[in-house]
Amino acid sequence: MSDDKKKQEKLADRREARRKRRIRNQILAYSVVILFIIALAVGVVTLVNFVSKGNGASKVNPTIASQSSQETEESTSEEETTVSLVEESQSTEESETQDEPVVLTYEQKLDQVVNAAIEVMPLEDKVAGLFMVTPELLTGVKPVTRAGDSTKNALSKYAVGGILYTKQNVKNKDSFEKMISNTELYSKYPIFLAMEEETGKAAVLANMNIGSKTDNAKELGADGDTQKAYLAGITVSTYLKELGLNMDLAPVADLANVEKSVMEDRSFGSDAEKVAGFASSMIRGLQEQEILPCVKHFPGMGSVTADPATGIVVSERTEEEFWAEEFVVFQKLVDEKVPVIMVGNMGAPALTGDNMACSLSDRVVTGILRTELGYNGLVITDMLNDKAVADYHSADEAAILALKAGCDMLLCPENFEQAYNGVLQAVQNGTISQERIDDALRRIYRIKFADRVE
């Protein structure tokens, strides 16, 4: 064979080899493309199925599946269909559970409303809201028998939490009713409109023939029939409500357990269980007519023979005696969730270690009433202008001590403006925390907003 012919054969072999490699490479490339397309298709189908199940859908979207529906129906067995339906049902139930709104309890709703109201109040209004005062203390006018511009301007400046009316405010039923109505109208926040209306001679309005008279507490408790106390509560609350009042600083839960007790005619008796039952019954009667009761005078003032309004008064009871008698009454009322308890101004050295008024004592208010008896409701002081307090503390000092002791509401300081400014400055300089003020307001507004939540 010639050299030229050999060269031509080698060239031909090389061309053939290159052609085969080219064909092989093309086949490999096409295979890769086909595999990629198949993988992409599988991914799309998987994603569609996942999204459909995640939305709780019971069927594949008909638009996506229109071209392959017939093949799907032919290839799906009865068992696979059943499993699919179960999975879809479970998915739907889970979706509905996740979307179901959270149902709040009454207490949670009330907390939300109260917190929202307090949050937007300026500090000045918060502090004023801790005070319950007479119209005279609020306006500086003596006596006040109508609510006009002086009341309107005073309430605009000092948004007090409550007004306590006394005998000097009452000329007649019509004018008193108008006075109450105007006061409520002028107040920019819900306000306690209160009277200290007990029974017998301790019922101011009844003894002015503006309300129906009842027997005094001693007479009511004489035969052990608590129904009489309940009916007395109904009677008192009926005429208070007609006048437009919403709070009564009653009943007395003190035990008249010493001779010539200052509470002799105002107490239901000397037996703790009996007095607890009578106080509870009168509370029920007041509440049924939508009058807020205020039980008094913790830790029990029936063991003294003089009124703290006249000067310092000290009980000689031991702590063991208080626990065995007086605290039995208040524990029962705490357990029944009485809304308001008043702390008295007598001294109780066995409880406090000195003659300080109980309303200013951390040991009595926070230590015993709050912690040991477990009371979480509203605590109000007795009259801070009583001599048992005012002779030993300035108005601002007494108000600050009462708040620090754990009281929430301050009743009738000797000088309202001095007490108000003193508390305001105490918050501003850190002597009293903002949270302490808010905590007291929450207890007040949980009562005031109780009927605004379903």
The confidence score (pLDDT) of residue 99 equals 62
Kind plus residue range of the DSSP H or E element containing 131: strand 131-133
- Backbone torsions φ then ψ of 347, nearest 5 degrees: -90, 145
The confidence score (pLDDT) of residue 101 equals 78
The confidence score (pLDDT) of residue 100 equals 72
Distances (CA, A) of 69 to 50, 60, 64, 82: 18, 10, 9, 18
Nearest 5°: CA angle at 63, between 61 and 65? 70
Nearest CA to 364 out of 390, 341, 332 is that of 341
Query: Are 113 and 452 a contacting pair, CB within 8 Å?
Result: yes
Residue 451 pairs in a beta bridge with none
The confidence score (pLDDT) of residue 61 equals 37
The confidence score (pLDDT) of residue 159 equals 98
For 159, the 3-state DSSP assignment is coil
Q: Any idea where the domains of the chain sit in the sequence?
A: 12-99, 106-452
- CA–chain centroid gap for 89, Å, is 42
Query: Are 283 and 294 a contacting pair, CB within 8 Å?
Result: no
Query: Are 366 and 377 a contacting pair, CB within 8 Å?
Result: no
Query: Are 214 and 220 a contacting pair, CB within 8 Å?
Result: yes
Residue located via tokens 């003089």 = 306
Kind plus residue range of the DSSP H or E element containing 443: helix 434-448
Segments of the chain scoring below 50 in pLDDT: 7, 29-30, 32-33, 41-42, 44-87, 89, 92, 96
Q: Write down the pTM of the prediction.
A: 0.79
Looking at 3.40.50.150, 3.40.50.10470, 3.30.365.10, 3.20.20.300, the CATH number of the domain 106-452 comes to 3.20.20.300
The confidence score (pLDDT) of residue 259 equals 95
Query: Are 346 and 301 a contacting pair, CB within 8 Å?
Result: yes
| Neighbouring C-beta atoms of residue 106, cutoff 10 Å | 10
